[in-house]
Amino acid sequence: MQDTHIIDRVSEEHLWNQVFTRQTGADFFYAVSTMGVYCRPGCPSPRPLRKNTRFFRSPTEAEAAGFRACKRCDPKGERARIAQDVVRDASAFIEASDEVPSLDVLAKRSGYSRFHFLRMFRNHTGLTPRAYADAIRARRLHASLANGNRVIDAVADAGFGSESRVYENTATLLGMTPGAARRGGQGERIRTAFADCPFGRLLVGATAKGVCFIGFAEPDEALMADLRRRFPQAAISTDDAALAGTVGAVLDFLREPRQALDLPLDLRGTAFQQRVWRTLCTIPPGETRSYAQLAAMAGNPKAVRAVARSCATNPVSLAVPCHRVVGSDGGLTGYRWGVPRKQALLEHERALSAGPKPQV
């Protein structure tokens, strides 16, 4: 049996209040009789008069009553779906191209003007096509260097015109020098320690600078393989005694979460990734933020996809609490260690914030 719709449960005055305050995510639509259009409650159009406002459960109901979809808020999501398809096609075309396609070529391919295409691409990726192409080449460069290829060869394979471009922008592209990326941890020692935690096995890895990896909820072999993939050339050794305090801090955090784990960290990523990871640490336990909110907090409201990728590549789960980021509708989106664990972490944090202290 389906749940009763919101319109059946609350008064029209309550619905009107959501329209007046432009609430996003509300489960109804409103129409303006004098304009002949219907909208989402969060529509940025000028507010209608209350006497001219009607409420509907769905676009189908509104259209049956003779109203057409608003072009500003796109209540049926049709324009948004078209834009997503255009951006998805352009992104695939950029990725498959040896050279960075010009804006004119991309716009012509999309069937839109240069200005309209650029705006669509920025709105959906948070980047210009040029910046998106640079991000792809940076990823290829990092992968090539991690495989041990010479810097000059990796630069050429990734599609950069010269080494000077890479060295001028190492912080943005790699978060480290090309030589360090190529070495993949060569010459470094990573100490590791396993432990049992409420979600199964836990692996902590640390360099001389600080914790560089925290993984959990997988078999020992899988956790170690993940660490080796990130540092393929490093000397990895077990050192339970040296990491006893660090492992204890992680276990304490699981029992009673805080805003962030107070541990020295060795985080390696681009300048943008570093900013996102630092911002994640400001989210209080028991609270969540959407990817869009996190992007705004990190100083780039349009970079929602880039923020999501930064969360997905977070090497120190728990210490950098990416489990506190959710979808725009509040839904639990993908999590490296499994959505059920993400839900359990959030529920545990909320329970502790509310007062009782159940175990995870």
**pLDDT one-digit tens code per residue, 141-185:** 666 666 555 655 555 555 555 544 544 454 444 544 445 544 544
pLDDT of residue 151: 53
pLDDT of residue 309: 84
User: Chain-centre distance of CA 61, in angstroms?
Assistant: 35
**What CATH code is carried by the domain that includes residue 22?**
3.40.10.10
- Please, how many CA atoms are within 13 Å of residue 38, restricted to the half-sphere of its CB? 23
| φ, ψ at 255 (rounded to 5°) | -75, -40
Residue 262 located in a structural domain: no
What is the tens place of the pLDDT at every residue in 90-108? Answer: 988 988 887 788 999 999 9
Any idea how long the chain is?
360
Residue 169 located in a structural domain: yes
Residue 44 located in a structural domain: yes
Instruction: Choose one of 227, 255, 283: the last residue of a domain.
Output: 255
Question: Do 225 and 197 sit in the same domain of this protein?
Answer: yes
Residue 294 near residue 272, CB atoms below 8 Å = no
Please state the pTM of the whole predicted model: 0.53
Alpha carbon distance 95, 91 (integer Å)? 6
pLDDT of residue 328: 79
What is the tens place of the pLDDT at every residue in 193-236? Answer: 999 998 889 999 999 889 999 999 888 998 998 888 888 778 89
Question: Do 277 and 334 sit in the same domain of this protein?
Answer: yes
Active site residues: 39, 322
Question: Do 299 and 344 sit in the same domain of this protein?
Answer: yes
Alpha carbon distance 349, 360 (integer Å)? 9
Residue 20 located in a structural domain: yes
Phi-psi region of 189 (alpha: psi -120 to 50; beta: other; left: phi over 0): beta
* Strand-by-strand arrangement of the 200-206 sheet: 211-216, 200-206, 189-197, 235-238
The tokens 């630069």 sit on which residue?
Answer: 155
Say which amino acid occupies 277: W
| φ, ψ at 73 (rounded to 5°) | -95, -10
Q: How many domains does the chain have?
A: 5
Residue 175 DSSP code: S
Question: Do 217 and 240 sit in the same domain of this protein?
Answer: yes
Instruction: Choose one of 255, 287, 303: the last residue of a domain.
Output: 255
Question: Do 282 and 348 sit in the same domain of this protein?
Answer: yes
pLDDT of residue 83: 84
Residue 237 located in a structural domain: yes
Question: Do 332 and 350 sit in the same domain of this protein?
Answer: yes
pLDDT of residue 229: 82
Domain residue limits at 53? 6-69
Residue 119 located in a structural domain: yes
**What CATH code is carried by the domain that includes residue 344?**
1.10.10.10
Q: Which residue ranges in the chain fall short of pLDDT 50?
A: 1-4, 163-164, 166-168, 170-173, 175-178, 181-182, 184-185, 356-358
